[in-house]
Structure 1
Amino acid sequence: MSASVIDLIATEARFGAHNYEPIGVVLSRGEGVWVWDTEGNRYLDCLSAYSAVSQGHCHPKILAAMVEQAHRLTLTSRAFHNDQLALFYEEIAALTGSHKVLPMNSGAEAVESAIKAVRKWGYEVKGVPDGAAEIIVCANNFHGRTLGIVGFSTDPETRTHFGPFAPGFRIIPFGDAAALQDAITPNTVAFLVEPIQGEAGVIIPPAGYFSEVRQLCTANNVMLVLDEIQTGLGRTGKLLAEQHEGIEADVTLLGKALSGGFYPVSAVLSNNDVLGTLRPGQHGSTFGGNPLACAVARAAMRVLVEEGMIENAARQGERFLEGLKNIRANTIREMRGRGLMLAVELHPEAGRARRYCEALQAKGILAKDTHEHTIRIAPPLVITSDQVDWALERLATTLTQDVS
């Protein structure tokens, strides 16, 4: 690394809170699936900012929409109407089949908003006694890092020394419909779950799991809340991951790719009266639903559909997973994925996955480790067959070598 790169990393470490452990590269430019560091080296981005850059870096049509809107109007607050919010509502509802929309900024805000809304629905519609509402969640979940959310995490790193935490959550194993059935009580208002557990290492539930979950939630008048912040908007080869089992959530959470990586935009989508319980003054956000965010999100959704990115994710994801499964390496414990949400889990004796990510960096690929022994692979949905093959060659070389 050059002196300037070392200086930048050192300055970041000196002034910034040490709440991340980034790979040792300083990026300065991006286009499509590629990013460049400050020294001009090019890398294939296989993280996509945790799926936020699904449409590719600096997509020209999203950029144009952002610049045009930034020249006109950026923020009004929800104290006034703006000419982009209604169009955003109309277009995201048409795309997803939703009936009501609550715009927010970050994914964690969407999760917190959904928790508030389903509790309110539980008290005012279902008739749960005040203060007794319960929400069921899954072990190894990741729904964000706010205090409310980490309170029902099972990851010690996210919980230790951050308590006390709010009550009202029950934790069950992921992918176990019987455990859900056993956990439901008359006070259960919602089941909050990821269709695929991303941060846990791209953990895919058994076939038929969500069909059973949907039936159980319907039978017990429990809101099924699907956190599609990572899985949604084409990442798994469908618009929403729920479509792989032909179900429909009561509440769907979107974020990340909703802005194509240009701006924090998230949304709570409801197919029933959950959001209808909110009244003026009971919930809000200064930036939520601002005209700049809405214009960016509208463009991000439009290019996703018009440019066939969802279908491409299905094709290239199948090609990528098949190629990964053809790699013969003693280091590999399991390959798994759906669409372009993929993971390579290593045997513990192979060492930390971070070392392999650093070795991949030297070969022009940026990927990120999770849970010590898993490499996540999630390139932008605009990746081509040639680029998939290029990545597979380098992954095969890296996974079969000694990186200790």
Structure 2
Amino acid sequence: MSVPQPSAATAEHGRGLSSRDHISITEDWAAHNYHPLEVVVSSGEGAWVTDVEGRRYLDCLAGYSALNFGHGHPRVLAVAHAQLDRLTLTSRAYYNDQLGLFARDLARLTGKEMVLPMNSGAEAVETALKVGRRWGYQVKGVPENQATIVVMDGNFHGRTTTIVSFSTDEDARTGYAPFTPGFRVVPYGDATALEAAIDDSVVAVLLEPIQGESGVVIPPEGFLSQVRTICDTHQVLMVADEIQSGLARTGETFACDHEGVVPDIYVLGKALGAGLYPVSAITADRSVLGVITPGSHGSTFGGNPLAAAIGREVVAMLETGEFQERARERGEQLATGLADLVGLGLLRVRSRGLWAGLDLDPRLMTGRDMCERLLARQVLAKDTHGSTIRLAPPLVASREDIEFLLDAIKGALTSG
């Protein structure tokens, strides 16, 4: 029996290319739709990653909250390894022995009756938009082709053509017209403007309970409750995009829980796959998701057995409450430490659970400058909108890890 030989790609990896080599190859061959920090990560464990030269960094982006449970959580790895040996894909042309259990458990976690699984977060948002429109026509009775969905200024829901059609970020929109109609934008956190925007054509209100990409922007207290009331009054679906804010990141299972609000549709992704695999879904009651019929929506990979097995283990981990509690405890530690740094080049801090947005004094540095200073101090973070950075350490980060982060931020602010 012949011994399989490694592929060219595997062989090249074994030669130990340097960070500069990897960066050069990536810049040559990959489209420039990102502007990464100059670090080349090769492994990760828990809240820490290691680059190809062996330097370690505290990962305070956590895959935009996809890695809530850290790199390589042993429970999720065990489930994924077991499922990889059994079955990875059937397509939804057949049943598989993982999907039903995953759908049941996720529905119970969200308090809903049905689950529609997809892959990426943007696909889940697109699914929610389609469901909202179809519900509007079939249940609310909106005339065909007139359905309107209200969205919020400063939103970020993905990168598809439809989604960027209602983005207010010019970087996301420029060059992609003509745009998809049927959306109405109102100021985030303004309940009066929201109600004024609703007429008989409106079928749904789509919002992030906390706007992550905008810099962890938290709406005014009571806003989510006002949205719920407005939607109920006007027979409109409340759609909560909890792709970044959900699954324990803010100290509750969902960010909506901070106001005791239950949306009609939850949009979930990122941490639902625990950073191992793209897993997303929407959940809703039968009165909403029942409008989806065979052939009206689908996905080759949506609900595949590997994704379902991973997602089900994530749900089981969340049911213990451990990660919600960790987000609260470490988040309080982070918020307290950051408050002491306001005035040292730091203008404002917004935080909820283990998630924070830091507004820097633009006269002193940009967000990119700050991220590069943190990189030099073994911390990985991400800038947004000029002079703001976001922090989202994995929820498995220790007290010592958060102290390390706070020391690095202080050093970056005061020493350059």
TM-score of the two chains, using structure 1 as the length reference: 0.97
CA contact (8 A) 2:357 2:389 kept: yes
Counterpart selection for 2:145 from 105, 108, 131:
131
What's the secondary structure of 1:282's corresponding residue?
Answer: coil
Give the aligned partner of residue 63 of structure 2: 49
Counterpart selection for 1:4 from 18, 22, 30:
18
AA in 2 matched with 1:45 = D
Identity %: 51
Give the aligned partner of residue 108 of structure 1: 122
Could you tell me how far 1:101 is from its partner in structure 2? 0.5
Give the aligned partner of residue 359 of structure 1: 373
CA contact (8 A) 2:210 2:219 kept: yes
AA in 1 matched with 2:193 = A
CA contact (8 A) 2:374 2:409 kept: yes
Give the aligned partner of residue 204 of structure 1: 218
Counterpart selection for 1:279 from 293, 301, 325:
293
Could you tell me how far 1:328 is from its partner in structure 2? 4.4
Cα distance in 1, alignment partners of residues 402 and 79 from structure 2: 29
Give the aligned partner of residue 32 of structure 1: 46
Give the aligned partner of residue 142 of structure 1: 156
Cα distance in 1, alignment partners of residues 202 and 87 from structure 2: 43
Paired residues for 1:3-402 under 5 Å: 4-306=18-320, 308-401=322-415
Q: Which range moved further: 236-245 or 386-395? A: 386-395
What's the secondary structure of 1:380's corresponding residue?
Answer: coil
Cα distance in 2, alignment partners of residues 304 and 118 from structure 1: 28
Cα distance in 2, alignment partners of residues 69 and 163 from structure 1: 42
Give the aligned partner of residue 9 of structure 2: none
1:201-255 deviation digits (Å, cap 9, x = unpaired): 1110000111111100000000000000000000000000000001100000000
Could you tell me how far 1:303 is from its partner in structure 2? 2.5
Could you tell me how far 1:299 is from its partner in structure 2? 1.4
Could you tell me how far 1:167 is from its partner in structure 2? 0.5
Could you tell me how far 1:329 is from its partner in structure 2? 3.7
Cα distance in 2, alignment partners of residues 305 and 13 from structure 1: 42
Q: CA 1:378 to 1:11, structure 2 compared with 1: closer, same or farther past 3 Å?
A: same
AA in 2 matched with 1:264 = P
AA in 2 matched with 1:340 = L
Cα distance in 2, alignment partners of residues 211 and 282 from structure 1: 33
**Structure 1 stretches of 5 or more lacking a match?**
none
Cα distance in 2, alignment partners of residues 171 and 306 from structure 1: 38
Cα distance in 2, alignment partners of residues 13 and 330 from structure 1: 36
CA contact (8 A) 2:210 2:217 kept: yes
Query: Cα RMSD over matched residues?
Result: 1.2
What's the secondary structure of 1:267's corresponding residue?
Answer: strand
Cα distance in 2, alignment partners of residues 217 and 307 from structure 1: 30
Q: CA 1:307 to 1:246, structure 2 compared with 1: closer, same or farther past 3 Å?
A: closer
Cα distance in 2, alignment partners of residues 394 and 118 from structure 1: 45
Number of aligned pairs?
Answer: 401
Cα distance in 2, alignment partners of residues 330 and 321 from structure 1: 15
Cα distance in 1, alignment partners of residues 344 and 330 from structure 2: 25
Cα distance in 2, alignment partners of residues 219 and 337 from structure 1: 31
CA contact (8 A) 2:253 2:318 kept: no
1:281-339 deviation digits (Å, cap 9, x = unpaired): 00000000000000011112222343701111011111101110011444111011100
AA in 1 matched with 2:273 = S
AA in 2 matched with 1:232 = G
CA contact (8 A) 2:87 2:305 kept: yes
Cα distance in 2, alignment partners of residues 350 and 211 from structure 1: 38
Cα distance in 2, alignment partners of residues 88 and 54 from structure 1: 19
CA contact (8 A) 2:207 2:241 kept: yes
CA contact (8 A) 1:250 1:272 kept: no
Q: CA 1:277 to 1:3, structure 2 compared with 1: closer, same or farther past 3 Å?
A: closer
**Structure 2 stretches of 5 or more lacking a match?**
1-15
Cα distance in 2, alignment partners of residues 252 and 3 from structure 1: 43
Cα distance in 2, alignment partners of residues 286 and 124 from structure 1: 26
Cα distance in 2, alignment partners of residues 323 and 330 from structure 1: 13
CA contact (8 A) 1:135 1:169 kept: yes
CA contact (8 A) 1:69 1:292 kept: yes
CA contact (8 A) 2:18 2:53 kept: no
Could you tell me how far 1:272 is from its partner in structure 2? 4.8
What's the secondary structure of 2:64's corresponding residue?
Answer: helix
AA in 2 matched with 1:95 = L
What's the secondary structure of 2:146's corresponding residue?
Answer: coil
Cα distance in 1, alignment partners of residues 273 and 185 from structure 2: 31
Cα distance in 2, alignment partners of residues 307 and 223 from structure 1: 28
AA in 1 matched with 2:157 = H
1:39-77 deviation digits (Å, cap 9, x = unpaired): 100111000000000001001110110110011010000
CA contact (8 A) 1:122 1:133 kept: yes
Cα distance in 2, alignment partners of residues 77 and 287 from structure 1: 6
